[in-house]
Amino acid sequence: MFKNALVYRIDQWEPPTQAEIAQRLEGSRFAECGPTQPEAAGWVEPRGEKHGALLESVAGQLILKLCSEAKPVPSGVVKQQLEAKLDQIEQATGRRPKGKAKRELKEQIVHELLPRAFPKRSSTLVWIDRRQAGADRREQREEGRCHRHAAGRAVRRPATGTAADGALAGHGNVGWLSDKEPPRGFSVDRECELKQPDSEKAAVRYARHTLEIDEVGEHIKQGKLPTQLALTWNSRVSFVLTDALVLKKIKLLDVVLEGSGQSDADGGFDADVAITTGELRGLLPDLIDALGGPLEQPSAA
């Protein structure tokens, strides 16, 4: 159900009733872009049923789905038409538009091309737990949109006692890679990216390769920091952790799926939600603890 995830905390939130949340969502139901509208965003049915509920509650977990649509106009086409228009004006007046006049011409061309642009849609599945919060993010650009739509409350990424890149490298007495000591409950898999934190951004990537080699430690000694590391939690969930605390390539392992015993009568939606959120509710606190625990931050004005 979740392939990639960004984790957020909702601060000082008194959960409204499900009816109140559903009412708010109805006010922002998704509507596709108009002929000259470049983008649109709104809530759609998590189950995929037309005119269905915009909020689903499964085993106490709240599930929402944000849909975004954009109508990108090819930059090459805009540039071509703009140059032709500028040439035409220059021939007629002897002056080539620049600055504000050029920008206005470009905006006019984009506006004229929008009705012919093909819309592209993407969706973001949002999971709200009253004690934890997670969101499946297939597109990083959706982050700001989810912030603006998220239940009318401020959300922020959790801070931990040890930065993810330092923990993975072995700074802060953690030693996941350099000392080959992953935290309890986790094992290091066979994928990693190390990057030099300077202007050159020199990078080394390992794929399907054991990481229990001295070469990895040497790269870390030279100053490279892990930006991605593949891990498995309790032999139940595998994922790739990034230095920005993003979980990628989330996969439930066979031991979880074989022991689920869930009915597929509803098309699998309820079973997927219950199984996936159940596992992530165990994984996320363990991961935060492995990174030094949550770091409390003062509320912003």
Select from 237, 241, 235, 249 the least CA-distant residue to 177: 241
pLDDT digits (tens, 9 = 90+) for 30-87: 999 999 999 999 999 999 888 889 999 998 899 999 999 999 999 999 999 999 999 9
If asked whether residues 111 and 181 sit together in one domain, one would say: no
If asked whether residues 134 and 14 sit together in one domain, one would say: yes
Q: What is the mean pLDDT of residues 134-151?
A: 47
Chain centroid, CA 121 distance in Å: 16
If asked whether residues 63 and 82 sit together in one domain, one would say: no
Residue 93 lies in a domain: yes
If asked whether residues 80 and 140 sit together in one domain, one would say: no
Query: Is residue 168 within 8 Å of residue 241, measured between CB atoms?
Result: yes
If asked whether residues 9 and 151 sit together in one domain, one would say: yes
If asked whether residues 109 and 34 sit together in one domain, one would say: no
If asked whether residues 95 and 222 sit together in one domain, one would say: no
Containing domain of residue 217, as a range? 164-290
Residue 299 lies in a domain: no
* Number of domain units in the chain: 3
For the cut 60, the answer to whether the pLDDT of residue 259 exceeds it is yes
Residue 137 lies in a domain: yes
If asked whether residues 43 and 105 sit together in one domain, one would say: no
If asked whether residues 195 and 245 sit together in one domain, one would say: yes
Sign, Cα dihedral of 9, 14, 17, 20: negative
Distance CA 117, CA 11 (A): 40
Residue 298 lies in a domain: no
What confidence category does residue 149 fall into, taking pLDDT thresholds of 50, 70 and 90? Answer: very low
If asked whether residues 66 and 42 sit together in one domain, one would say: yes
Residue 301 lies in a domain: no
- pTM for this prediction: 0.76
Task: Say if residue 143 is exposed, middle or buried (CB neighbours under 10 Å; 0-12, 13-18, 19+).
Answer: middle
pLDDT digits (tens, 9 = 90+) for 184-233: 899 989 899 988 888 778 888 989 988 888 888 788 888 888 889 999 99
Structure-block tokens of residue 225: 């920091």
Residue 178 lies in a domain: yes
| 210-214: Cβ within 8 A, 24+ apart | 211/177, 212/180, 212/188
Residue 91 lies in a domain: yes
Distance CA 103, CA 97 (A): 9
If asked whether residues 244 and 285 sit together in one domain, one would say: yes
If asked whether residues 217 and 249 sit together in one domain, one would say: yes
pLDDT digits (tens, 9 = 90+) for 109-126: 999 999 999 999 999 999
Residue 238 lies in a domain: yes
